[in-house]
Structures are given as structure tokens and as C-alpha cells.
Amino acid sequence: MPSRKKIRTKIALTRSRQKAAVSVKSSRLKGVLLIANEAGLLKGARTKIVRGRMPQALVDKAKARTGIKSDTELLELALANLAVAYEFPEWLLSQKGTVNKDLDLEF
């Protein structure tokens, strides 16, 4: 049985007129995306273009660490992380004693 750290978590994010699944390895990053989604930051049309030149090693390491293959999804996660970074500890503490109804408890 694979360790929990290696299990990829699928997050369905509603996009304008389509759905895309962002797959991340880290539960912390999953939480960041959930907070950003709940705050409405991931809703609406994708009209803003953000681009830049990055060192290949930085992009490769970030993709390996997150499990994300798409440059666009990687940038979305990075921006969401910056946008809600200070909200994550509060959100995490609010989850104490709760269990996601979709969690497979194997019984």
C-alpha cells in the first residue's frame, strides 16, 4: 500500500464552462486550492495572461514536488499559494475533528 504522501489528491475546480482536475501530491497544497476556491479566486473566465521566463531547474523541481504537469496549473497553484498563504493555518485548525465524506476509510 503506497504511503499517504505519495497518493495524489484530485481536486475538481470549476472553470468557466469546463472542469479541470488539478492533481497535487501535498495535502497542504490541496488546502491552499480549497481555500482559494472557497474564496472565489478560481472562478470566472481565464482572461488574464501571466507569463515569464523561469530557470528550467526551478520549474522542473516545482512540477516534481507538486505532481503538476501543466505550466498553467503550476502558475495557478503558485498564485493561489501567495494569495491565501496567511489563511491556511486558520483553515487547517478549523478542520480539526472533521473527516471528508469522500475519504475512503476502507470498511
Place 3 in a pLDDT band, splitting at 50, 70 and 90: very low
Place 20 in a pLDDT band, splitting at 50, 70 and 90: very low
Work out whether the CA dihedral 35, 39, 45, 47 comes out positive or negative: negative
Beta-ladder partners of 21: 12
Amino acid 15: pLDDT: 34
Would 106 be classed as within a structural domain?
no
Would 42 be classed as within a structural domain?
yes
Residue-range definition of the domain harbouring residue 23: 4-94
Q: Are 67 and 25 in contact (CB under 8 A)?
A: yes
Amino acid 71: pLDDT: 93
Burial class (CB in 10 A: 0-12, 13-18, 19+), 24: buried
Would 10 be classed as within a structural domain?
yes
| Mean pLDDT for the stretch of residues 83-92 | 77
Would 52 be classed as within a structural domain?
yes
Task: Flag whether pLDDT at 22 surpasses 60.
Answer: yes
From residue 87, how far is each of 24, 72, 82, 84, 98 by CA, in Å?
19, 23, 10, 5, 18
33 Cα distance to chain centroid: 4
Would 105 be classed as within a structural domain?
no
